[in-house]
Structures are given as C-alpha cells and as structure tokens.
Structure 1
C-alpha cells in the first residue's frame, strides 16, 4: 500500500502542477502578439510618413515650366550710393513696386487682363494671358511701377494680384554721366560702367551671403566733378549738332593724379530708361572705341625725337620734297616746301618732318616708345569698357613713317589724353582713374617715360602752336586768362579700304595753364561737316573750339584762377587825347 500511495501522490502532484505550465505558455503567446502589433503600427507610420516625404521631395524637384519663381519674402539687395568728388549723388537706390500674379487664384484671366489694361495700356496681352492661365503659384507681370500705378491697380481689387517692394536704381542726372556710371539690370545688378566695377569689387559676394544691406554699405565716391561733367556733356552734344557729326566726345584729366574729372561721349543714353543702350552708335567712344588719332600723335613723335637726345629744338628737317616709299607718297597738307625747324614741323603739322623725326629714332625705337607711352597696350583703369589698341603685327619702314603722323595705328582717345598728360607733367605716365587719388598715391604708380627737359620742350611747343599769329592750328582753343596750349589732329577715315579726304575724325588735345599745367582736355568729333557759313571742317574749326568752350565754362570749378597779365602786356598802349 505504501508503494500504491506514493504512486497516487506523485500523480496528484503532477496533476496540480500542469495548469501552471499551461498558464505560462498562454502568457508567452499573448505577449508576442502585442509586440507584433506595436511593430506593425510603427511600420505603418514610417511607411505613411515616408510616402509623404517622398512626394514632397518629388514635387520640390519638379521644374516650373513657366520659368517664374515666387518672391523670396525679402526685397532685392541694396547697392551703395555713387557720389561725385564733392558728395553730389550720381546714383542711388529707391523703392519701387513690382506687380505679380498668383495664377492659381485668378478666377477669370480675361477679366483680370481687361482691368489691368486700364492702368497699364502697354501690357503685352498674349504674354500676360499665358502667365495668368499657367496655373502656377507665381508669375511676374510688371516690374518697377510708379506709386500712382500701384494705387490704381489696388483699387481694382483683382483677386490673385499683388505687389512686391523692390530696390530700383535711380540716376538723378539722367544721361549726364551715363557712360561712366553704366547701369544695372532688372535685378539691380551692375552690368556696365562703374556699376559693374562695384559688383566686381565684392558687392556680388555680399549679395550672395545676404549682407548687402543699405545700412551697412558705404557710398562710393568717384573722381568725377558733376559740375564739370555737365559742362563737358553739354559741349559734346552741342558740337555734334552744330557740326552735324555722327558722334563726339571729350575728357578732362588731372595730369598730376590721373583722375578723370569728366568724360562724355555722344550719342549717349539715359540709364533710367536704357532702351537704346545696345545700339552700336551709343558706345563709349572715349575708352571703348579705337581710332587713328591723326596729328595729335605728332606730339609723341616729336617728344620721342627730343627724348632720344639726337635732336633738339634747334634741329632742322628737309620738307622740300615728298617722301616716296613703295607705292605710297607722303605729302604735307599745307606744305611750305622748305627746310623746317623742329618747332615749325610741329606748328605746321608737317607729315614729312614727322616722318623724318621718326627716322632719327628707328623702327624698333619708335615702336618701343609708343608702348612706353601706353598707346599700344590695353589701358588699365576701373571702367570695364576699355578697347585694345591696334598696331601692325610686323613693323616695317612704311609703318613707322605713317604712324609718325597718326595713320596706321589706332588707340583710344582716353589713352591719347593720358599720354599727353605725361608729356605735360614732367614725363610721368599715370594710368587714369575714376576714383579719388592723391598726388602721393599717384606718385607710387607713376612711371617716368620721358625726361623733364623733354616735357618742358613739349609745353613750349604746345603753347607756340596755340598762340595767335604763330601760324599754328590751335589758336581757336585759346581762352583769355588761361593760357591754353595743344595740338590738332585731322585724320582721314578709311572708306571702302581707302583713305577719304572728305570724311574725317578730328581731335584736339590741350593742356592749361600751359606754363604750369594742371589739366589735359581732349575732344573728338567724328565726321563733322563745315559750320554754317564757313568752309573749313578740320580739327582747328571744330575740335579746338570745343576745348575752348570746356575750359571757359569749367576752369573756375577746377580751381584754376584766370591770369590776364599776358594779355595786358601784349595789349597796345591806350593814349588819352582829351588831356
């Protein structure tokens, strides 16, 4: 019985423990199901948000087929004011309103266009309709509107039409200094002139990082004197009309610092409305155009001969017979047919004499001198619009002879003025600048290109050429009290591959006061006609009077005081017979 009892107890114990094991199994199975449900819920959420994120990325990468982008929420980056040397504003930013549409919100495009046309009659109908029907989120309709136009359109109450405040460039002087200042595009970025130069000096980088703020931008001061600039442009425009020319230009240059005080080229443009800026006849002829400068180049030929030390002011040159080289014959325009002294070669503008001056130096020496004077290399200055001069690839004897009197090479008028300044200031070549520069700063970049003695001799020849009664061609540039000296240049233009005696490019380069020069003035006039009632159309009849007008009207602004002692000493003695 004992064994039977033990066996029964064992069976009872096993029967009691069995439900506990079953309970643990059931709990384990139930926990696994709960965990699986949580994992499935997480997976569902991840999948749903992954799909949403993927669609957002997809839509974000889609290109707007209409080509328009919506406003960024900030106005366009500012530009610094541009001032003249006296603080007068030449260019500044103003706030303007630009009209845009949200095509998705436009209820009736036809009605919207009809209403907008009552305020903006010049609105392009087809283009505007296409934009309003595009279904995009944003489209520009009109940039740079007036406050009156904005007010009138707002009063129309068109759904889906709005305005964005932008920065627009304004030039108070209009076309007065257009070729110097340049202009900006619709996004207020500089595209020409000093506006482009400012961008290239770091403004574009500031814009890119969002630091181009009007409160942090210092004004940019130029070397230009607005008063003188106004005079120069007025003289240029008037001369072009008076002499029925296709173009004209002028520059005023400080010979000790290289500062450009004024420069104008006509035809010009209004940077506030530059609809004609790309017309080929509106280029800046003073720095971006190259020309055969005619007899103004004889200034450098004479200076070259003097600086060589092989001749002096007492030297003579045989101008009795023309020079024949190959198939070309070199003659004088108004030949004296005799032996000429060096001053006579200069004041009578003898082609033969100039050719013989160049022969004294030789071909290689001639070419080296013109490069030394900066006439055959691309000029270095802030203005982006600068042309590269042209010269023969290989210089031969004929090239040296013709270049000696201004044919066969082409340079810019501004470079010619810079070279002439070196002949007047003691022989130092100073690259021009449109920014303020002191004499000390200029001396650091100046290059001695001719001796002081050569410069002194050239000042004498310039004055001699402009004195009344000397027989020189520059007498019409004289202004009482200011002692002007200079050199004319009448270049025949090439028409159909041949030089034409009836079509000219005229120039006059002058310095004043010639006994102690401060400024160089150079004028050009392209294809002038004879003034009404007169027969002459050479530089002495048009380019020289332009110089006189500029000096007469602007000398006081430049700080040059008139001195009439020379006129008083040469005036006849007045006798009073009433005593």
Structure 2
C-alpha cells in the first residue's frame, strides 16, 4: 500500500513561491487521510454486521424448521444407550387364546452406587442391609470404601424399597429407570412361559431377553420393533390352565407322587389348551438350575416335554390299530393269551391270568401284554418302526419350546423281536407325554397326523393320513370300552363319554435295571368319544395310593381318578355340554306330560 506523504516537497516549494502557508497542505492531507480511514472502518463494520445478521437469520430458520418437524411428528420414547449401542427395552406382551395377559412389562428402577460420591458409606451399607437382608454387610462396606467407582446393588426395586433407599439420603446411592418382565399369574403356565432376564444393561435402560420357554423361543419376535407391540397369542386357555393345575396338584398330593404333568390338546388342530408340570416355579423369581443330580428334581424341569418315560400300556392301542389297519385282525379276532409267553431267554407275563384267548378288543380292555406282543410279532419289526415313526415317536416334538429339541425319544439300539414285543406294550422305548398326546390325537381324530403347537391357530390343514377313518373309529370304541368295563373304570364322567388307556411302567434305575416299588403311571384319554374334541394325558411320577391294606401304584388307581376329576372340572369350561342318555331324557318327557 502506497501512502501519500503529509508534506510533499513539490507542493511545499510551490506554496512558498506563491507566499502561501505550507502547514495548510499538511493539515489538508491529514484530514483526507482520516476520512479515508473512516470510510474503510465503516465498510468493515457494515460487512461484519451483515455477516452477523445473515448468521442469526439462518440459525433461527433452522431452529424454526426443527420445531416445525417435531410439532408435526409423533412422540417417540427416547432410547438410552450404553457402550455406544442402543438398548431397546420394549418387549411385546404374551397373551392366552382369549387375550388375557400372561407376560407384560413393568416400569421399575434399579439401584447402583458411586462410592466416591458417598458421604457416609458405613451407615449407608448398614441401612441397605436392613432393607435388603440378602445383601452382605462386610462386602458392601468393602466395596463402598474401596477404589470402585461404580457397582450395582439391586437390578429391580419395588416402590416401597425405592422409597426406603431414598430416605437414606446418601448422594452416592442412585436410581436408574428400566423395564422388567412381569408375570401377573405367578406360577401358572410357568414352564410354558419360561422366563426372562436382563441382557445388556445401562444405567438408564436394560435389555430384556428370554431365558427359557416361549420367551426364548420367540425372543426375536417379542423384541422386533417392526411388530409395533403386537402381542404373542398362545393356544393356552388360562381358565383351563388354572383348573388343571389345581386338580393336578391336589391329585399329586393325594397319590403321594414325586411329580406330575398333564396336557390337554385339541385333537384336530394340535393346539395345547393346557400344559401343567409339577413341581413348578414363579417365573418372576426364576430359581437357578441344578448343578448335579437328577434334572427332574428341579422345579425348572418340564415333565410334559422334557420328561422322556416308558409310557407302559398306553402304547397298546398303537399295536392294535396297526394290526387293524393292515387287515391282520378285526376287533373280534381271538388272540392267544396263554402265558407266560417265551421268547428266547425272556418271558412275557400278564398282570392277571386272562385265560387262553381274548378278542382284540378285550386285549386292550384288559391290557394283556401277551395279546399285544403276539399282534406285534405278526406286524413285524420293520412295519412297527414305520408306524411309530409316522406317529412322531422317532423325533423330538415340533412344539415351540426351546426345551423340546433336547427331548428326543429313546429307542432300542437294535430292534430285535423281543424289542418288537416289549415296545408294543410301552417298555424298551421312552417318549414324552407330549408325544403321547399328539399320537392319541391322531388315533381318535379320524386318523390324520397332528403336530402339537402352543400358538393359537385360525385354520389348520389336515396332516398326512396315518390310519383310515374306519380304524380310527374302531380304536375309539376300544378306548371307550376300557373305561366302560376295563382298567380305567374310575374315568367315567357322566355325560362326557370318556375313553382312554392306562399305562403303568416300572421306573428305571440310573445305573440299569428297574425299581420294584416305583412306577410312572399314565392315563391317556379322549372325550367325548362319539365326536372327539380333546385328548388329555395325565402322568404321575412315583405315585402310591395308600388307602388300602397295601400301596396301589397302577394307573387305574392313581392317574385315572386325577384325570377324571380334571375332565369333570374342565369340560364345562371348554363349552362341552354333557350328553344325556335316552333314559334320562324319556323320564323328563314323561314327567312333563303328566
């Protein structure tokens, strides 16, 4: 930049020649220079003001636009984050077939401590132990006075507990909001629901994940934001479930059983209306599993699905149905039941001596092992295996529980003739009560395969045909006769035409062999047999009916009375009207005409 001198020599000399004062030139130049400086400063200030003005206009425009967007959009619950990843706490409800809530979410609070912010750590530890007796005073005092900057104290608090902690008044005790899983019905359907726990956890949120049952099987569905909170609808009916549990629990105590299970299934859709396993647990406070010992001793063990048992004489109807289907026999064909039946070094005997021969129907009614074994030999090992496989006894049940795939039936390693005979009456092969429920549904529904499900279904296509409708009708008549004049006479429930088959199997020892005084007693039933709607399986583990001189352990004395009471209680709840026999109806008509 070239600056003009204040006293330019040429102009000074010229001014002196003219007799003018040279100082005027200097003052004039100073004035011009100052005016030039003022103009530049004014331009600079105007530019700055323009920039600031434009900035404020843009900033307020952005704020206004953001407020407009927020005002015109739906409110969304903010999501807390931890470790840089979002924790989605929302989880869909689980409801029964009628929409009643089985599992839902509850807003609660967690309790954590920041020891470096605590004022009186020793006093706070003592008061926390008074509120939560399960906490250890020495450990809390050590944690509060150590180098730790953060520690969890309780993951879930009740409102009363939260208020009590708040009253301690220590700034180092802090609360974090979170959702927890709540099961309002407590133990009811515990094994089906399974339970939930916390996955990833942050101070202000926690991830709820399924740990067992349908909670884990449908974990992805229940956590999927795309479902928009749509509940998972199960096939269970909680009214039926409550009645079934009450009856089964009472029956288990009366029969001095170690455990019990019951399954009520729709014979056409495979929907499980009720599934009870005892002993059970409260999924709100799910206990830890057993580290050692028999898994069935744990209340977490689902006997309906995980319990793989020899189901005894309940299998005899399968041998009879296959023999009928193959045309080897008809219901009146006489079978040689003279015993004992010798096969190599093995002998097969009946519980009672039934004489030299029985009809096929009476083989089932009186539960003859010898008669069933002879039919099985005529069928042959290969065809027997194919038939049982078609009923689902060679694979785990497809029911929607994470525990189901691990409950695969136990089959003979080598299927010799002796195994063909023993399997026909339910020994030497083990399956779950749920397998049995599905197979009996197939037997009585007209002969089409049924797959058990815990989801409510709108319409179900019939499965592949296993037996003909004629064979199914003959099997129903046999099962009805078992109740009318056979081993399940205690199952008569007036008006509901119950049919079924008992099964009593000696309980195997862990190291081989069988107990002489411990059994698995099962009653597989269906009702009403004129038009079957439901199958009911009741199984008791180590029952003993002790009202007589000697303990009675057979299913006819133990499982059958429990099942009968369950049908008596649940049939009206299922909407089934009792059928009046013609004699009762004629009496009503005659009385009215008089």
Identify the TM-score tier after normalising by the shorter chain: 0.7 to 0.9
Q: Are 1:530 and 2:549 an aligned pair? A: no
Stretch of structure 1 that moved more, 129-138 or 479-488: 129-138
**5+ residue gaps, structure 2:** 1-80, 200-207
How far 1:87 sits from its partner (Å)? 1.1
Within-5 A mapping of 1:169-568: 169-187=181-199, 188-199=208-219, 201-203=220-222, 206=224, 211=225, 216-275=228-287, 278=290, 280-281=296-297, 282=299, 283-386=301-404, 387-438=407-458, 440-443=459-462, 446-467=463-484, 470=485, 472-495=486-509, 497-533=512-548, 535=550, 536-565=552-581, 568=584
Q: Could you say what secondary structure the match of 2:188 adopts?
A: helix
Q: Could you say what secondary structure the match of 2:474 adopts?
A: helix
TM normalised by structure 1 equals 0.81
How far 1:565 sits from its partner (Å)? 1.6
Q: Could you say what secondary structure the match of 1:539 adopts?
A: coil
How far 1:337 sits from its partner (Å)? 2.3
Partner of 1:64: none
C-alpha distance in 1, partners of 2:495/2:316? 27
How far 1:336 sits from its partner (Å)? 1.1
2:126–2:137 Cα contact (<8 Å) kept:
no
| 1:503-546 C-alpha deviation (Å, 9 max, x unpaired) | 11100011101010000001000111124346432101111111
How far 1:115 sits from its partner (Å)? 2.8
Q: Could you say what secondary structure the match of 1:510 adopts?
A: strand
C-alpha distance in 2, partners of 1:259/1:220? 15
Within-5 A mapping of 1:26-41: none
Partner of 2:126: 114
Stretch of structure 1 that moved more, 541-550 or 344-353: 541-550
C-alpha distance in 2, partners of 1:229/1:119? 36
Q: Could you say what secondary structure the match of 2:273 adopts?
A: strand
C-alpha distance in 2, partners of 1:529/1:398? 30
| 1:427-470 C-alpha deviation (Å, 9 max, x unpaired) | 111110100113x3242xx1211111110100110111111xx2
1:269–1:277 Cα contact (<8 Å) kept:
no
Q: Are 1:82 and 2:94 an aligned pair? A: yes
Q: Could you say what secondary structure the match of 2:187 adopts?
A: helix
Partner of 2:11: none
C-alpha distance in 1, partners of 2:127/2:456? 52
Q: Are 1:93 and 2:105 an aligned pair? A: yes
Stretch of structure 1 that moved more, 95-104 or 427-436: 95-104
Matched residue count? 494
C-alpha distance in 1, partners of 2:155/2:137? 16
How far 1:374 sits from its partner (Å)? 0.6
1:75–1:165 Cα contact (<8 Å) kept:
no
How far 1:110 sits from its partner (Å)? 2.1
How far 1:348 sits from its partner (Å)? 0.7
Q: Could you say what secondary structure the match of 2:525 adopts?
A: strand
C-alpha distance in 2, partners of 1:311/1:357? 9
C-alpha distance in 1, partners of 2:548/2:328? 46
C-alpha distance in 2, partners of 1:293/1:134? 59
Q: Could you say what secondary structure the match of 1:286 adopts?
A: coil
2:363–2:371 Cα contact (<8 Å) kept:
yes
1:144–1:168 Cα contact (<8 Å) kept:
yes
Q: Could you say what secondary structure the match of 1:184 adopts?
A: strand
How far 1:100 sits from its partner (Å)? 0.4
How far 1:127 sits from its partner (Å)? 3.6
TM normalised by structure 2 equals 0.79
Stretch of structure 1 that moved more, 559-568 or 503-512: 559-568
Stretch of structure 1 that moved more, 109-118 or 389-398: 109-118
